[in-house]
Amino acid sequence: MQRKKATAVFAAGAAILSLTLAACGGGSGSANTSTSGSASGASSSATGGYPAAAKEITFWGWAPGYDKAVEAFNSSQSAIKVKYEEISPGAKGGYEKMLNSVKANQGTCLAQVGYETLTSFAAQGALEDVSSYAKSSESEFAPGAWNSVKIGEAVYGAPVDQGPMALFYNKKVFEKYGIAVPTTWAEYQAAGKTLKEKSSGKVSLTSSYLNYDFAGFTWQASAPWFGVEGDSWKVSISSDATNKVSAYWDGLVKDGVISKAPMWDQSWYTGLSDGTIATHVGAVWIAGILKGDAKGGSGDWAVAPMPQWNAGDTAVGNVGGSASAVLKGCSDPEAAWTFAHWMSTDKDAFAGLVDSAALYPAATALLDLPALAKEDPYFGGQKIFDVFKDASGKVVTGWTWGPNMPETVKTLDDQLGKTWSGTQTFEEATKATQEKTVSDLKAQGLSVAE
């Protein structure tokens, strides 16, 4: 796809993003379709404003359970018919398929898009602003999740899930070495030193973190990497606020408390399983990773709130989450929003997504789902989602992903690899990522504030 000059237009006050890159049920599940996104009123033109003939829209995604949610919605009313098509996960071809569809004006209405990629889609003019239908639903979602589907006043879809962060720690290891659960980052660093000393270097505090995981730490520290200044993108990956986080992790590397086992490597799973890696600060979905790939740690692990920079603070970062995004050219954006909102807020439908895909809801009313209130044997009987329920409302707002995150992340991972090995500092890594990102955005024709 050939890229031409792009423009970024932000209306003052409203700040509606218009970046363009010329590139290229039962129970609570009763439907009540109003413009605020509910679903049963959609069954007739008299109650829902729709004609007798069903509106037909297509939804692309890959998460397990989406097909069942679509079936439930179609059974709940007759005004909107959703056709679900499973596609490859985004980074494995799904996103390219979506962008090609928009370019070809094929009229696909909805697609599963990760929050970190949604801004890139908006920058390419690939999303439809559905704020006129969606605004009244803002209060139904966790602030961090809602902020992830909007740019300025434009809303591009419905939040589905979220990834608030917390401290996963091996309770058995902590008790063995007499370490209290850290509540601040200073205490976390001290815990690492104690573990190293008392275990004679056999137990590491944690391991390396990559791209979006590292971003989660700066997110918590109110150090956004992207923003808007006038009609330009502001890139602040190597800001003073980010450098504070960088200096902290440089300190942990120098302390020798970081495991040599890279995240996602088999050695990482082994360390989490046998207790030689004592913690991981990560998103809610890490619970599933531990249970599935670190089975040897069953009964040993627990979850606590994310460590804070200052005692008494409650700020939380976020890693992951996705939206049902409305693609540009959708034949009926209102119908698309109606279904997207329903799938994100219907208790029965989302319970299926919790069971099949382990999604953690962005809708605040769903944080009390029975599936999220169970004692978990892997975590010693702890009701771990109580921690994440509290954390979800404390995710720092104001974070915006950049317009070309795939390239930014590629550069960041290359740089972080050097940093974890001790050949450069985190500040050098973020500075190099900043410079490459600015260069790439300018090459794409985007205006960048210096």
The SS3 assignment for 20 reads strand
What sign does the CA torsion over 228, 229, 233, 235 have?
A: negative
Residue 302, CA distances (Å) to 259, 314, 370, 381 in order: 20, 19, 20, 9
On whether the CB atoms of residues 88 and 62 are closer than 8 A, the answer is: yes
Confidence of residue 229 (pLDDT cuts 50, 70, 90): confident
Q: Above 60 in pLDDT, residue 131?
A: yes
Domain boundary among the residues 354, 372, 390 is at 372
What average pLDDT does the chain have? 89
- 10 Å Cβ neighbour count for 100? 12
The CATH number given to whatever domain includes residue 200 is: 3.40.190.10
Q: Given the DSSP bridges, would you call strands 157-159 and 322-326 parallel, antiparallel or unpaired?
A: antiparallel
Residues sharing a CB contact under 8 Å with residue 88, sequence separation 6 or more, in sequence order: 62, 94, 97
Instruction: State in Å, rounded, how far the first CA of the chain is from the last one.
Output: 28
Q: What is the pLDDT of residue 26?
A: 30
Buried/exposed code over 120-132 (b: 16+ C-beta within 10 A; e: otherwise): bbbbbbbbbbbbe
pLDDT tens per residue, range 389-424: 999 999 999 999 999 998 999 999 999 999 998 899
Q: Above 60 in pLDDT, residue 366?
A: yes
38: which 2 tokens? 């509910």
Range of the domain at 65: 27-163+321-372
> Do 106 and 184 fall into the same domain?
no
If DSSP states are collapsed to H, E and C, what string results for 250-302? Answer: HHHHHHCCECCCCCCCHHHHHHHHHCCECEEEEECCHHHHHHHHCHHHCCCEE
Mean pLDDT over residues 191-200, rounded?
A: 98
Q: Is 1 a member of any domain? A: no
Confidence of residue 2 (pLDDT cuts 50, 70, 90): very low
Q: What is the pLDDT of residue 13?
A: 26
Q: Which amino acid is at 366?
A: L
Q: Is 302 a member of any domain? A: yes
> Do 326 and 367 fall into the same domain?
yes
How far is Cα of residue 98 from the mean position of the Cα atoms in its chain? 19
Q: Above 90 in pLDDT, residue 285?
A: yes
pLDDT tens per residue, range 240-284: 999 999 999 999 999 999 999 999 999 999 999 999 999 999 999
> Do 310 and 408 fall into the same domain?
yes
Q: What is the pLDDT of residue 14?
A: 27
> Do 142 and 155 fall into the same domain?
yes
pLDDT tens per residue, range 16-32: 233 333 233 333 333 33
Q: Is 250 a member of any domain? A: yes
> Do 116 and 183 fall into the same domain?
no
Q: What is the pLDDT of residue 18?
A: 34
Among candidate residues 86, 84, 50, 71, the one with its CA nearest the CA of residue 332: 50
> Do 238 and 309 fall into the same domain?
yes
Domain boundary among the residues 336, 355, 372 is at 372
Q: What is the pLDDT of residue 11?
A: 28
> What is the DSSP code (8-state) at residue 178?
T
> Do 48 and 173 fall into the same domain?
no
Q: Is 136 a member of any domain? A: yes
Among candidate residues 111, 93, 89, 91, the one with its CA nearest the CA of residue 102: 111
Q: Above 50 in pLDDT, residue 35?
A: no
Distance CA 238, CA 435 (A): 9
Residue 197, CA distances (Å) to 179, 187, 200, 268, 309 in order: 12, 15, 5, 21, 24
Half-sphere exposure of 179 (CA within 13 A, CB side): 28
Q: What is the pLDDT of residue 208?
A: 95
Among candidate residues 274, 278, 277, the one with its CA nearest the CA of residue 297: 274
> Do 298 and 435 fall into the same domain?
yes
> Do 246 and 328 fall into the same domain?
no
Q: Is 379 a member of any domain? A: no
Q: Is 390 a member of any domain? A: no
335: which 2 tokens? 């119908």
> Do 122 and 219 fall into the same domain?
no
Q: Above 90 in pLDDT, residue 12?
A: no
Q: Is 387 a member of any domain? A: no
pLDDT tens per residue, range 288-316: 999 999 999 999 999 999 999 999 999 99
pLDDT tens per residue, range 139-166: 999 999 999 999 889 999 999 999 999 9
Distance CA 241, CA 249 (A): 13
Q: What is the pLDDT of residue 94?
A: 96
- 10 Å Cβ neighbour count for 176? 15
Half-sphere exposure of 136 (CA within 13 A, CB side): 9
Please count the structural domains in the chain.
Answer: 2
Q: What is the pLDDT of residue 53?
A: 63
> What is the DSSP code (8-state) at residue 54?
P
Q: Above 80 in pLDDT, residue 48?
A: no
> Do 325 and 435 fall into the same domain?
no
Confidence of residue 41 (pLDDT cuts 50, 70, 90): very low
Q: Is 50 a member of any domain? A: yes
> Do 169 and 158 fall into the same domain?
no
Distance CA 404, CA 448 (A): 13
Place of tokens 């999303």: 127
Q: Above 60 in pLDDT, residue 56?
A: yes
